């Protein structure tokens, strides 16, 4: 938490110029406006209607002081400065407006924005002409309230009163653009609390022809079979238990430390799996296993001619990007610790962060297309700082030229290329 606060303090002078109107302008941009209207609930005219409430919620999440009082005070000041009638600085109306804000509206706008970004990715950015998606998990802490403790209990080894409720989040992001396509949150212990369980709830995000890239948590028989049934290929690090029995002298040899092996359906049905689901699994799966510089990968991409070993090695190195995406969401934006006191509002807050993240990613995509560079070469933090500073400037006569100037600034700096990095523990 101290690290997050220190980082946010470094960009406080940018954040001071930001206000909810900036997010409102992005949400109501032409490419998002129709979707926003579709998600809007029926509502009466109030001081804080849904769109303005969502904009304030996002602005609130990005500030060092994330209290409701702070964002209400800022809104009251901005209304006066823009010649509108003053509003009360009491927080009751805004807090009730946040409660009324439909979870489906927030999550729907976040996933729609991610899909919009991914759809704009040109073919030249794809891998072997295919979309690659990244899957990974992380954890966040929540306020220590009875409601949060009930839904997100602390780890068993942690004594009561010495920690905070912990939620597990699994997300799917686009490798080419960095957009967040979907996510799910759940507890860190108990039935259905693992990364596999949360990922299973997100599988409808995948499309025929996609490639799912992930670490060893996902290299299970059931998931590989499910992906193949959906027309999706997988590239995972080999599961630790299987890696110990890897023998490249067996199976069909494709090259040096590269072969095809046959996996057999587990004899014991997992507790989470229904009998019908278990019986529907194929008895065997043929997969490719290969050693790439000390890591053993397992993939459903079987042809060494169509997908050479060197290409798979390079692709798995790019899994590093999902760690950076998590860091951008948790550390740069500040989602490491949620502030809402109930599970329902905590989930809503998670989606608020993902929507804000995707809105920044949308700017990065537009800049990358304009400068003809890959979005992954642009800095998320640099873009965030520029947008926060830019959003505080006065409106220009020609908004299109103004936007192009911002996109040009975003493309001026690129992130460093540091080959051979060792992935740290997630932030």
Q: What is the DSSP string of 204-219?
A: GG--TT-EEEE-GGG-
pLDDT band, residue 159 (cuts 50/70/90) = confident
Count CB atoms within 10 A of the CB of residue 425. 5
Predicted model pTM: 0.89
Is 60 exceeded by the pLDDT of residue 333?
yes
Report the pLDDT averaged over residues 300-305.
Answer: 96
Distance of CA 231 to the CA centre of its chain: 23
What six digits make up the tokens of 265? Answer: 């359906």
CA-based nearest residue to 24, from 48, 46, 51: 51
Angle between helical axes of 30-39 and 103-119 (0-180°, round to 10): 150
Question: How many other C-beta atoms lie within 10 A of the C-beta of residue 239?
Answer: 17
Q: Is the pLDDT of residue 246 over 90?
A: no
Q: Helices marked H in 146-220 — which ranges? A: 146-151, 195-200
In contact, 291 and 258? CB cutoff 8 Å: yes
Classify 163 as helix, strand or coil.
Answer: coil
Q: What gap in Å lies between CA 314 and CA 227, rounded to an integer?
A: 22
243 Cβ contact list (under 8 Å, min separation 6): 216, 296
**pLDDT of 259-302, one tens digit each?**
999 999 999 998 889 999 999 999 999 999 999 988 999 999 99
Given a cut of 60, whether residue 210 has pLDDT beyond it is yes
Q: Where are any strands of DSSP class E within 79-165?
A: 132-141
User: Which residues, 6+ apart, have CB-to-CB distance to 395 below 8 Å?
Assistant: 402
DSSP secondary structure letters along 86-97: P----SHHHHHH
326, pLDDT greater than 80: yes
36, 109 Cβ separation under 8 angstroms: yes
For residue range 105-133, list pLDDT tens digits in order: 999 999 999 999 999 999 999 999 999 99
Distance CA 118, CA 95 (A): 33
Contacts of 242 (CB under 8 A, 6+ apart): 219, 298
Q: Strand 166-174 to strand 258-264: parallel, antiparallel, or no bridges (unpaired)?
A: unpaired
Domain ranges of the chain: 2-104+351-410, 125-325
More confident residue, 14 or 113: 113
């Amino acid at each position: 938490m101290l690290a997050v606060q220190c980082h946010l303090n470094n960009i406080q002078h940018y954040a001071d110029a930001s206000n909810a109107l900036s997010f409102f302008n992005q949400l109501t941009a032409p490419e998002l406006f129709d979707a926003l209207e579709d998600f809007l609930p029926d509502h009466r005219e109030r001081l804080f209607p849904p769109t303005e409430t969502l904009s304030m919620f996002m602005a609130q999440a990005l500030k060092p002081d994330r209290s409701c009082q702070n964002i209400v005070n800022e809104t009251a000041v901005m209304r006066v400065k823009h010649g509108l009638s003053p509003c009360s600085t009491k927080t009751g109306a805004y807090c009730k407006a946040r409660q009324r804000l439909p979870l489906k509206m927030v999550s729907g706008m976040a996933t729609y924005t991610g899909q919009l970004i991914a759809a704009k990715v040109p073919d030249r950015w794809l891998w072997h002409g295919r979309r690659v998606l990244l899957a990974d998990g992380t954890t966040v802490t929540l306020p220590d309230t009875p409601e949060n403790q009930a839904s997100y209990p602390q780890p068993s080894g942690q004594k009561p009163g010495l920690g905070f409720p912990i939620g597990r989040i699994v997300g799917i992001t686009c490798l080419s653009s960095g957009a967040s396509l979907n996510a799910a949150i759940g507890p860190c212990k108990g039935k259905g609390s693992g990364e596999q369980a949360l990922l299973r709830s997100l599988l409808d995000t995948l499309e025929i022809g996609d490639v799912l890239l992930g670490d060893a948590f996902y290299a299970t028989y059931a998931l590989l079979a499910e992906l193949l049934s959906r027309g999706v290929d997988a590239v995972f690090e080999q599961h630790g238990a299987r890696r110990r029995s890897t023998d490249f002298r067996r199976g069909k040899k494709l090259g040096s430390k590269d072969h095809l092996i046959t996996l057999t359906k587990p004899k014991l049905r997992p507790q989470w799996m229904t009998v019908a689901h278990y019986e529907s699994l194929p008895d065997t799966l043929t997969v490719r296993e290969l050693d790439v510089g000390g890591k053993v990968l397992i993939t459903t991409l079987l042809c060494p001619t169509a997908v050479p070993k060197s290409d798979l090695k390079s692709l798995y190195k790019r899994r590093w990007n999902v760690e950076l995406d998590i860091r951008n969401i948790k550390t740069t934006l500040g989602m490491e610790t949620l502030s809402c006191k109930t599970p329902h509002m905590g989930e809503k807050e998670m989606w608020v962060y993902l929507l804000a993240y995707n809105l920044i990613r949308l700017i990065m995509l537009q800049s990358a297309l304009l400068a003809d560079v890959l979005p992954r070469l642009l800095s998320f933090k640099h873009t965030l700082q520029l947008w926060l500073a830019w959003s505080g400037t006065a409106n220009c006569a020609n908004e299109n030229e103004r936007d192009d100037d911002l996109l040009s600034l975003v493309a001026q700096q690129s992130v460093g290329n540091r080959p051979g990095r060792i992935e740290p523990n997630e932030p």
